[in-house]
Structure 1
Amino acid sequence: MLNKEREQTVISLCQRLVKSSSYSGQEDKVAEELKKAFKELGFDDVVVDKYGNIIGHIKGNKPGKKIVFDGHIDTVPVSNETEWKYPPFAAEIHDGKIYGRGTSDMKGAVAAMVCAAANFAEDTKKDFAGDIFVAGVVHEECFEGVAAREISNRINPDYVVIGEASQLNIKIGQRGRGEVVIETFGVPCHSANPEKGINAVYKMAEVIGEIRKLTPTHHEVLGDGILELVDVKSSPYPGASVVPEYCRATYDRRLLVGETKESVLAPIKQLLDEMMKRDPELKVKASYSVGKEMCYTGNEIEGERFFPGWLYDESEEFVQDVYAELKSMGFDPTITQYNFCTNGSHYAGEANIKTLGIGPSKENLAHTVNEYIEVEQLTSVTQCYYGVMNALLK
């Protein structure tokens, strides 16, 4: 159990982080709070990389495994503060809950990681084998795993713990996410004489209808690799008296284990090729969306929106070591998977680093009005992270 002093430390740090608004690309204030916390709590060193990820490091007295605790420090925006029961950046406590944007997603977990690492170092007097890193990661809400690439390149960890909400359960996988872009190209003309042009939107409508007939891929654990239309845009817009010459549709594709950029696009491209053979007027192509954002450091972050799925077997030794440790501490975690995409897409899906997720709070509180974290979940996950260090830094 945490003593009262340690409980208050993690609660206070969570509040400090929530009070520091940190929309994607504007994480500098919360990074500064984390830097202060790392120094206050005795971390050996702190670095900030080119994207603005902030990484605190505690070194054990003996060589051993390296573990990264990953928690993103950006949040989605608050659209209307007046809708909130309590101010979204005040971090007020009511009925055993801390309210505010980012409490569940995921500044509570970040605070718990920092405090758990400090507690572990103090109790062991750093007499453990290995290195502990706590990473406050930027731009996760825009690109799951892109900024995290910089962290794994720097540290080359043996294990990663994702702190996304799981109600203290152990997560060993997730579907990934890809943004597939379909583009049709027409011929513009005056809308009074549409027969003189080719309407790119009509062509897109035909394509959308055929794509809906594709059978999704399936995984017995992760489910379907769904392909869902999320937006359609035409050009010129507004199109007063002009037949649109261009149309772009975006699909959200949920990715299963082992799927690649090529394998995901292959059936779509095959379908489009067949349609173009039947219709000489149809010009269409498929690709992935590319995102580009500015970091608070002044550097640009860019990435193709393809974030792989991943899944470990629950019999894996590192999973069972953590499970046994948490059970011995009195917790009763279920081993399951995340329903959403996380930075694990990079660590596990791209870099093949042993990764699991443990986080406080409920998954469905992310991005909501009146977001909160229960204080009991916050203090409990601090103990869980301590247990993870006990289990993996042998």
Structure 2
Amino acid sequence: MTKTDAAALTADLIRCPSVTPEEGGALVLLQGLLADAGFECTRVDRGGIANLFARWGAKGHARTFGFNGHTDVVPVGDEAAWTMPPFGAEIKEGIMYGRGATDMKSGVAAFAAAAIDFVQTTPPEGAIILTITGDEEGDALDGTTALLDYMDREDEKMAVCLVGEPTCPNEMGDMMKIGRRGSLTAYFTFTGIQGHSAYPHRAKNPLPAMARLMDRMSSHSLDEGTDHFDASTLAVVTMDTGNPATNVIPAECRATVNIRFNDAHSGASLTDWMQGLVDEVAQDTGVEIGISVKISGESFITPPGPLSDLVAAAVTAETGRTPELSTSGGTSDARFVQHHCPVVEFGLVGKTMHKVDENVPVDQIHQLKEIYSRILRDYFA
């Protein structure tokens, strides 16, 4: 039997211009390949977002290995800054270029290729499920969450799940993710009274209140880290007045804060803490302060055990490296999957993701397929 070429599949996917929320032909391509290999495929589109559910094997089997990934990509940006066509998948000196080459069409292609070859050569006693979304890089409201909602309705169940995000910072195999920090963004609006800057007593300046609150928040140490997480971080990401005049005290200003937090906190506890500071500063300054919080995801961890051991052993066997079990980095759709089943993440080196001339060494795509193939063999052994 001819083996499925993961690099060729990666190239085909890159040539699909699937910038969020466009499907771009990527899921149509995958569905055709998986269906031809005997996977039962269902489109689970919601809210204008394309999603694909594919299962090989019996529904509801206790040994069901799941994979989660995405085919949507971030925008190209300044196309003139690219030295290679962003959707060309051109190869130069063993390097494949294109948007999504690293994040994460190569990961999807590597697992799909591994799964197709595996079920055709050594059909396992169990099932394999792929959940592929077109909304990981966007708001993520109708992507993996839609797929998980579908699975709940249809009594589909993954026993464990691997997410194919790029996890390695420097070398192939040097890191896998067993959890992620939580993330929230808080938006503040400060409302005072506009006036002449020469007569500040006739106005109520919201800027000192904003500066005071932002200083109190950014100078506070949230924690010193926990067993599996680094210390939580808080960053003031913008402070805006939109005031072009030097002789006018503005009536309003705004600020935004982003917090990445570990398992010592929850989105609710951090919101309560910020609200307490808001109330204190508002009382001290007389400035009205509004706060709106968007929680992108709570922190979570899959404790080291059978699943992380399985993935780590396969990575070591194929790369010679023992991956660090990490919870670093941003958010991923693993934050949704963790409510369904134990989940870990492993994928390529992520140095070029979201960058101009995003690229991946072709041999790493093949290596990733071999790692995923070994994971499947060992899981069903």
- Closer, same or farther: CA 288–239 of 1 in aligned 2, 3 Å: farther
Whether 1:207 and 2:213 are equivalent positions in the alignment is yes
What is the alpha-carbon distance in structure 2 between the residues aligned to residue 170 and residue 74 of structure 1? 22
- Closer, same or farther: CA 191–393 of 1 in aligned 2, 3 Å: farther
Q: Aligned to 1:70, what secondary structure does the other structure show? A: strand
What is the alpha-carbon distance in structure 2 between the residues aligned to residue 242 and residue 40 of structure 1? 68
Q: Displacement of 1:372 after TM fit?
A: 0.6
**Pairwise mapping of residues 209-248 of structure 1 onto structure 2 (< 5 A)?**
209-220=215-226, 221-234=228-241, 243-248=249-254
The amino acid that maps onto 1:37 is: L
- Closer, same or farther: CA 164–310 of 1 in aligned 2, 3 Å: same
What is the alpha-carbon distance in structure 2 between the residues aligned to residue 310 and residue 145 of structure 1? 19
Residues 44 and 150, structure 2, Cα contact 8 Å, conserved in 1: no
Q: Displacement of 1:87 after TM fit?
A: 1.2
What is the alpha-carbon distance in structure 1 between the residues aligned to residue 21 and residue 204 of structure 2? 41
Residues 188 and 197, structure 1, Cα contact 8 Å, conserved in 2: yes
What is the alpha-carbon distance in structure 1 between the residues aligned to residue 14 and residue 252 of structure 2? 43
2:353 matched residue in structure 1: 366
- Closer, same or farther: CA 30–245 of 1 in aligned 2, 3 Å: farther
Moved more, 57-66 or 100-109: 57-66
What is the alpha-carbon distance in structure 1 between the residues aligned to residue 51 and residue 308 of structure 2? 27
Moved more, 169-178 or 17-26: 169-178
Q: Aligned to 1:223, what secondary structure does the other structure show? A: coil
Q: Displacement of 1:19 after TM fit?
A: 0.9
- Closer, same or farther: CA 193–364 of 1 in aligned 2, 3 Å: same
| TM, length-normalised to structure 2 | 0.87
What is the alpha-carbon distance in structure 1 between the residues aligned to residue 60 and residue 150 of structure 2? 20
What is the alpha-carbon distance in structure 2 between the residues aligned to residue 62 and residue 309 of structure 1? 28
**Pairwise mapping of residues 65-214 of structure 1 onto structure 2 (< 5 A)?**
65-124=63-122, 126-129=123-126, 131-143=127-139, 147-155=143-151, 156-166=157-167, 167-168=172-173, 169-189=175-195, 194-214=200-220
**Pairwise mapping of residues 221-370 of structure 1 onto structure 2 (< 5 A)?**
221-234=228-241, 243-257=249-263, 259-279=265-285, 281-289=286-294, 305-314=295-304, 316-328=305-317, 331-337=320-326, 338-348=328-338, 351=339, 353-360=341-348, 362-370=349-357
Which of 351, 363, 370 in structure 2 is aligned with 1:376? Answer: 363
Which of 10, 16, 21 in structure 2 is aligned with 1:14? Answer: 10
What is the alpha-carbon distance in structure 1 between the residues aligned to residue 141 and residue 103 of structure 2? 16
What is the alpha-carbon distance in structure 2 between the residues aligned to residue 159 and residue 238 of structure 1? 55
Q: Deviations along 1:304-360, whole A, 9 cap, x unmatched? A: x4212222332x122223333444556534132242221112222xx1620111112
| TM, length-normalised to structure 1 | 0.84
- Closer, same or farther: CA 243–61 of 1 in aligned 2, 3 Å: closer
Moved more, 218-227 or 34-43: 34-43
Identity %: 22
Give unmatched runs, 5+ long, in structure 1: 290-304
Q: Displacement of 1:32 after TM fit?
A: 2.3
Q: Displacement of 1:211 after TM fit?
A: 1.7
- Closer, same or farther: CA 185–312 of 1 in aligned 2, 3 Å: same
Residues 48 and 55, structure 1, Cα contact 8 Å, conserved in 2: yes
Residues 212 and 281, structure 2, Cα contact 8 Å, conserved in 1: no
- Closer, same or farther: CA 66–113 of 1 in aligned 2, 3 Å: same
What is the alpha-carbon distance in structure 1 between the residues aligned to residue 264 and residue 143 of structure 2? 22
Q: Which segments of structure 1 move beyond 6 Å, counting only runs of 4 or more?
A: 237-241
Root mean square deviation, CA, Å: 2.6
- Closer, same or farther: CA 27–191 of 1 in aligned 2, 3 Å: farther
What is the alpha-carbon distance in structure 2 between the residues aligned to residue 252 and residue 62 of structure 1? 40
The amino acid that maps onto 1:21 is: P
Whether 1:43 and 2:39 are equivalent positions in the alignment is yes
- Closer, same or farther: CA 60–239 of 1 in aligned 2, 3 Å: farther
The amino acid that maps onto 2:231 is: D
Which of 21, 25, 31 in structure 2 is aligned with 1:29? Answer: 25
- Closer, same or farther: CA 244–392 of 1 in aligned 2, 3 Å: farther
